[in-house]
Amino acid sequence: MSEERAVVLLSGGMDSATAAAWAKARFRWVGALSVDYGQRHRLELEAARAVARQLALAEHRVVGVDLRAFGGSALTDALEVPKGREDIGRLIPITYVPARNSVLLSLLTAYGETRQARHLVIGANALDYSGYPDCRPDFLQAFARVATLGTKAGREGKGFALHAPLLHLTKAGIVRLGHTLGLDFALTFSCYDPTPEGLHCGACDACRLRQRGFADSGLPDPTRYASTPPFERG
């Protein structure tokens, strides 16, 4: 285990939670940052708190940045969340939040700098994902340079390393990795459009990718869905 410190973006979804578990296994001190940006699926913030407790992270901070002021996304505006899409990943969907990861990684960099943590961890995934431009390798490589050039720590020779350990994993691979690391996936929350009772809808992109990940992994899915997961139907 490295004696260095790391900070991780923890949304409360399965990817970010697995990334947090990965960081916990590799660094002696891990802090987590969750962002309340006005997302319609704010239940994920409670999931993030539960995951941080389960992993016994050194610190968990929740900060607010209201991206509803700009709108432009089904997650931050009065737009319908797509359901039952078969072409996930081909086009950038309406659930894309404009420049979200640029904003969130900037906050994570600030958090890391104040905690003397030079390792930034994000659960971005470029394979089984919804087509978001800010989950792609070229963006992450560019941001790592921005983090170093735009901070006091970076200019003083203590640049940042940006880790995306899930970047080239399938959803099934993410499930298996999280399972190996002891992550309780029942604590995580992925749905973009949860029911009033707090169930996963079972039909949005995030739910369908989650379902496929568990189905392909061969591991049981602990998720409570409002509709029968199509990937489990015979």
CATH number at residue 182: 3.40.50.620
Confidence (pLDDT) at 54: 98
Beta bridge partners of 119: 6, 161
* Residues spanned by the domain of 16: 2-232
Confidence (pLDDT) at 233: 43
pLDDT tens digits, residue range 134-190?
888 999 999 999 999 999 998 998 889 999 999 999 999 999 999 999 999 999 999
Total of domains in the chain: 1
Q: What mean pLDDT is reported for the chain?
A: 90
User: For the residues of the chain, what is the DSSP string, one character each?
Assistant: -EEEEEEEE--SSHHHHHHHHHHHTTEEEEEEEEEE---TTTHHHHHHHHHHHHTT-SEEEEEE--GGGT--STTTSS-PPP-S-S-TTTS--TTPPTTHHHHHHHHHHHHHHHTT--EEE----SSSS---GGGSHHHHHHHHHHHHHTSHHHHTT---EEE-TTTT--HHHHHHHHHHTT--GGG----SS--TTS-B-S-SHHHHHHHHHHHHHTS-----BSS--GGG--
Confidence (pLDDT) at 28: 96
Confidence (pLDDT) at 149: 95
pLDDT tens digits, residue range 81-107?
877 666 665 678 878 888 899 999 999
Confidence (pLDDT) at 124: 94
Which band of pLDDT confidence, cut at 50, 70 and 90, is reported for residue 42? confident
Confidence (pLDDT) at 85: 65
Instruction: Give the residue with greater pLDDT, 188 vs 37.
Output: 188
pLDDT tens digits, residue range 177-202?
999 999 999 999 999 999 999 999 99
d(CA 143, CA 68): 24
pTM for the full model? 0.91
Describe the strand order of the beta sheet including 119-121 as a list of residue ranges: 59-64, 27-36, 2-9, 119-121, 161-163
Which band of pLDDT confidence, cut at 50, 70 and 90, is reported for residue 230? low
Q: What count of other Cβ atoms lies within 10 Å of the Cβ of residue 62?
A: 14
Does the pLDDT of residue 120 top 70, yes or no?
yes
Per-residue pLDDT, averaged over 98-124, amounts to 96
